[in-house]
Amino acid sequence: MSAMRRHSRPRQGNRLRGLDDGGIHLLARRKNEFAESDKVKALLWCARHCCLCGKAAGVGIEVAHLDPKLSDFDNAIPLCFDCHGATGHYNPRHPRGRKYNIAELKARRDQVYEQYTRPLVPPVLYFLAQRGATERQLPDVGFYISNLGNTYPVRARVQVKLAQSSRMWPENSGHFSGRALWNLNPGFSVSAHFDVSQAMLEKEPLRARIDVGLIDIYEREHKLLPVGYIHQLGTSDDWYLEPSEEELGIPL
Ligand SMILES: [Zn+2]
């Protein structure tokens, strides 16, 4: 009995100390721990391929921190054990080689994410028009968007900004605000429209910038390049495409 007591005291003490240490460790870990849903998303986006060397890592993968203090999704990078070691334990004063920096790691990670999520994005067609599939009369402006694929649904985020000479018009609200998500099933088309004010139909050509983001089934957004349109009002009855952002002159 007494021998057991002698054993039990220090064991309990150790256990308590262990708990204290563990508790502190856990607290510290929780502070910068990624949300479980973010870890799942990161692993889906790279299909469990290391976001540095690109190898298929299977269970030998970790969702590592770019900055050890931050726990937001943009700070996560899936890495194989080798690459995690190489990024985390590199001596910055070592005279040979070159340290990985966060900008490089993010760019490489995004490229791997893109490689494994791009095939989930169907071809999508969209345009601004008064005629054809839309048939609208100013001040009503027609917008058409279609999921041309026959496999995956996709959600579109559409933002339209209008300007005249140096004046930016107030932002579109609702469907064209860039905040609403449009559900586009395979083979699905939407013919939508928005109003411009009478004040916009006088004098200067009307310019429109359209930004579209496509959100795949794993919730990764693929931003498309902005598309610009110009309507000459009095001298034309439809919009024409302006491919140069500089010519269009409407910042995001
Ligand atoms: Zn690797």
pLDDT in tens, 159-215: 999 999 888 888 888 999 999 999 999 999 999 999 998 888 887 899 999 999 999
Give the total residue count for the chain.
252
Cα(104) to centroid(ligand 1), Å: 14
Q: Is 239 helix (H, G, I), strand (E, B) or coil?
A: strand
Residues of the chain above pLDDT 90, percent: 62
Do 231 and 131 share a structural domain? yes
Predicted local distance difference test score (pLDDT) of residue 94: 47
- Report d(CA 106, CA 109) in Å as an integer: 5
**End residue of a domain, out of 118, 135, 153:** 118
- Report d(CA 239, CA 250) in Å as an integer: 16
* 4 belongs to a structural domain: no
- Report d(CA 124, CA 156) in Å as an integer: 9
Cα(85) to centroid(ligand 1), Å: 9
* 88 belongs to a structural domain: yes
- Lowest mean pLDDT of 45-54, 88-97, 115-124, name the range: 88-97
Predicted local distance difference test score (pLDDT) of residue 89: 54
- Quick one: which of 68, 114, 101, 83 has its CA closest to 224? 114
Q: Which domain holds residue 136?
A: 122-248
Do 128 and 109 share a structural domain? no
Predicted local distance difference test score (pLDDT) of residue 85: 87
Do 89 and 52 share a structural domain? yes
Cα(213) to centroid(ligand 1), Å: 30
Looking at the structure of the chain, the number of domains it has is 2
212 DSSP β-pair partners: 158
* 21 belongs to a structural domain: no
165 CA to centre of own chain: 32
**End residue of a domain, out of 69, 96, 118:** 118
Cα(116) to centroid(ligand 1), Å: 16
Cα(60) to centroid(ligand 1), Å: 10
Predicted local distance difference test score (pLDDT) of residue 236: 83
Cα(46) to centroid(ligand 1), Å: 12
**Phi, psi (rounded to 5 degrees) for 220:** -90, 135
* 64 belongs to a structural domain: yes
Cα(78) to centroid(ligand 1), Å: 9
Residues of the chain above pLDDT 70, percent: 83
CATH number at residue 196: 2.60.40.10
Res. 93: pLDDT tops 70: no
Q: Is 121 helix (H, G, I), strand (E, B) or coil?
A: coil
- Report d(CA 141, CA 201) in Å as an integer: 12
Contact criterion met (CB below 8 Å) for 183 and 202: no
DSSP-H helix ranges across 119-237: none
